[in-house]
């Protein structure tokens, strides 16, 4: 469950089902039976079944706590605070950590820092993050050249060669003079860049 505030649709044509009389139970039953339904949005007046791609049409914040429940397969992505989206189970951190601490955190939770080794996966994760966490702009990911400058590698050994999709220059303008050896995704542009590892950032885990 994720809280949204002041839930307002700017694309009412994207609502699959609306219930004002049957309440949340009716919405839940309808969503279970409809493959296009990815989420249930509940306001003070009614509830709605909506596709995931329409969630960006809803706004926050306010003092009113409306809620959105996301549908996911039973028994999949059942680790604490992981979210399922189109075949990927990922976790967006609430706290900021250094790259190494983030790596350890993901490992303890049964995952790894996310591997974004194809343009398709970059776009998929980026789109999900812009819906779930629109206030965040960048995250540590599972790429590094620590110990071997210029020889970048993913935390997952069988990942695709990423040299075609990453923009590395060993420079972090916020930390001049410090080596930039850890991968970061910039959500505004979807670029994968290198940043100083000892700064604290939000980070992304995915289940192995």
Q: How far apart are CA 124 and CA 190, in angstroms?
A: 10
Confidence of residue 100 (pLDDT cuts 50, 70, 90): very high
Question: d(Cα 190, Cα 181) in Å, to the nearest integer?
Answer: 18
**pLDDT value, residue 81:** 82
> Token digits for 196?
């100083």
How far, in Å, CA of 149 to CA of 181, rounded? Answer: 8
pLDDT classification of 184: cutoffs 50, 70, 90? very high
| Torsional class of 63: left (φ above 0), alpha (ψ -120 to 50), beta (otherwise) | alpha
Q: What angle do CA 81, 87, 89 make, to 5 degrees?
A: 20
What's the confidence (pLDDT) of residue 10? 36
Q: What are the structural domains of the chain?
A: 2-70 (no CATH), 83-207 (3.10.100.10)
**Mean pLDDT, to the nearest integer, of 140-147?**
91
pTM above 0.85, yes or no: no
């Amino acid at each position: 469950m994720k809280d949204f505030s002041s839930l307002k649709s700017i694309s009412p044509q994207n609502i699959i089902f609306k219930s004002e009389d049957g309440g949340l139970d009716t919405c839940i039953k309808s969503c279970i039976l409809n493959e296009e339904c990815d989420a249930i949005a509940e306001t003070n007046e009614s509830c709605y079944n909506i596709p995931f791609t329409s969630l960006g049409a809803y706004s926050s914040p306010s003092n009113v706590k409306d809620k959105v429940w996301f549908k996911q397969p039973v028994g999949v992505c059942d680790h604490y605070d992981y979210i399922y989206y189109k075949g990927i189970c990922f976790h967006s951190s609430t706290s900021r950590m250094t790259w190494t601490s983030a790596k350890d955190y993901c490992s303890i939770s049964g995952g790894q820092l996310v591997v974004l080794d194809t343009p398709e996966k970059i776009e998929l994760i980026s789109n999900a993050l812009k819906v779930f966490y629109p206030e965040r702009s960048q995250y540590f990911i599972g790429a590094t050249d620590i110990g071997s400058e210029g020889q970048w590698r993913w935390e997952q050994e069988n990942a695709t060669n990423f040299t075609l999709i990453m923009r590395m220059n060993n420079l972090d303008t916020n930390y001049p003079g410090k080596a930039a050896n850890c991968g970061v995704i910039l959500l505004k542009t979807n670029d994968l860049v290198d940043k100083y590892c000892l700064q604290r950032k939000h980070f992304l885990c995915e289940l192995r």
